[in-house]
Amino acid sequence: MKLTLSQIKEINQENGNHFFDRNTLKGFGETMKSFKVQYIDGINYVIRKRDNKTWKFNPANGTLNIPYLALTDEEIFGKTKQ
């Protein structure tokens, strides 16, 4: 099921994780706007926009597994960037 970033944040925090905690984000110079979600083959990936660093989201325990993989532009955008 495709989740929004807000839903992922909620599940993450409900399970006692701090990836999207305000202080954690601030400590790394990030905001929620720094991330996006890509849904590929039934898996939600959280992608940091500035460098495409990618985490696989595990909804069972709310964790983000890193580093999972570096998605190509084609996988992210559905085509190669020109």
Three-state DSSP class for residue 5: helix
Residues 46-76: pLDDT tens digits? 999 998 889 999 999 999 987 655 555 566 6
Separation of alpha carbons 26 and 11, rounded Å: 20
Residues 5-54: pLDDT tens digits? 999 999 999 999 999 999 999 999 999 999 999 998 899 999 999 988 89
> Closest Cα partner for 39 from 9, 75, 64, 63?
75
Please, what is the Cα angle at 68 between 36 and 14, to 5 degrees?
60
